[in-house]
Amino acid sequence: MINLKNLEKDFENTSLALQKKGVGKEMLETIKTLFKERKNNLRELEANKAEQNKNNKLYGEFRKKGEENTELKDILTKLKNEYQKLKEKSNLIEETFQKFSINLPNIPDTSVPEGNDENDNVEIKKVLIPKTFDFKVKNHWELENQWLDFKRGAKLAGSRFTILRGEAAKLERALINFFLDKNAAIGFEEVAVPYMVNQNMLFGTGQFPKFKDDLYKIEDENLYLIPTGEVPLTNIFNDEILNKDELPVLLTANTPCFRKEAGSAGRDTRGMIRQHQFNKVEMVAITTPEQSEEIFQKMVDNASSILEDLGLPHRLVQLCGGDLGFSAMKTIDLEVWLPGEGQYREISSISNTGDFQARRAKIRYKDTDNKNKLVNTLNGSGLAVGRTLIAIMENYQNEDGTITIPDVLNKYIN
């Protein structure tokens, strides 16, 4: 969650930043009104309490003399009734505040460009030049090599499920090991986590309640299949206080990810770009505010290095405000070149969420002044396994339908 005190203190500038991320003016005006109501309510509560204290003192003096003052007694009864009503109003205001605050997105960093959607994202740079083919290139689903079985995947579970067979299954396993090794080489500790989490963990990282409709729930259980490894990795420290000298904590894990893809009807219906279940190697960092920018760049560089080692042309793109995720204050996407489509497609998103998730998940650290402060959390794909697999299929395809495996994977795939 954002710090509501900052919103109240500098409402104009903070609300402009939130509008950059698509928050409507009507919602912001409602919050502004709530701030005024809360302030007025608090003033009335304090005035009522002061009046009660004054009259209680007077009433006590009468009682000491053995006298009964019915007028004062009636005034006190009336004040107590009014206080109860004011308290009920205060609780209602706070409850409304809570509903608004959990649905407000993170405030974008000042470096985030203006824009409404992906068309307004800003390219930072391109890495590697796409290969020129002397034959007609195919999309990954058109390659006749029996690697991907869409028909039987749909038979087993429905649309957007795919079976990987033979060399494809081996290549996926090789990619997972390669990604984990690359992440470990720069200090990320490998972790094996549960693939189901409870509602509180999803609230902590911002998927719940706003994105509830995109989650797969376990019937009759307070458990959901994870939409990304970011959720269990970040929430390892949910409601904990770390020591400053423990930070940064760098974690990586391979997990399946499960998404209903709500709202994606008609998009990427062919191939393996958008699946209900896919593997992803995730990077998560828990840092102090001072460390977070350096770690953010380290994660971006690492994801780019993995693609470069695989010989996959890609570009780095900074997301504009309108395309920025709910929890992110800034994001750099890595988009890999797919010659079959003739365009770049997202393969990794590296995000710095500042203290937004930490406030929701109550992740803190004890600073050198012995005060508890909120950590910064960062997350990013390193990388999406299925999309890397199809990028290799398309970029390394040969005219006879075979696929050359990148040299860096030889020791993993034999």
Domains with residue ranges and CATH for the chain: 4-101 (1.10.287.40), 118-413 (3.30.930.10)
pLDDT for the residue numbered 263 = 65
Q: Which of 256, 241, 337, 246 is nearest to 285 (CA)?
A: 246
Instruction: Find the mean pLDDT for residues 48-58.
Output: 90
- Is 152 known to be catalytic? no
Q: Which of 160, 359, 364, 387 is catalytic?
A: 387
pLDDT at 146 over 90: no
387 is an active site residue: yes
Q: d(Cα 273, Cα 268) in Å, to the nearest integer?
A: 6
> Taking a C-beta distance cutoff of 8 angstroms, is the pair 207, 231 a contact?
yes
Which tens digit of pLDDT belongs to each residue from 312-367? 999 999 999 999 999 999 999 999 999 999 999 999 999 999 999 999 999 999 99
Average pLDDT, the chain: 94
Q: Three-state secondary structure along 334-350?
A: EEEEECCCCEEEEEEEE
Count Cβ atoms below 10 Å from residue 403 Cβ, excluding itself.
18
Q: DSSP per residue over 300-342, as a string? A: HHHHHHHHHHTT--EEEEEPPGGGS-SS-SEEEEEEEEETTTT
- List, in sequence order, every residue forming a beta bridge with 287; answer none if it has no partner: 376
Q: pLDDT for 90-132, tens place per residue?
A: 999 999 988 888 999 999 999 999 999 999 999 999 999 999 9
- As a whole number of angstroms, the distance between CA 250 and CA 254 comes to 14
State the distance between the two ends of the chain, measured CA to CA, in whole angstroms.
48
Q: Among 259, 315, 360, 364, which one carries the catalytic annotation?
A: 259
Residue of 274, 305, 308, 341 with catalytic role: 274
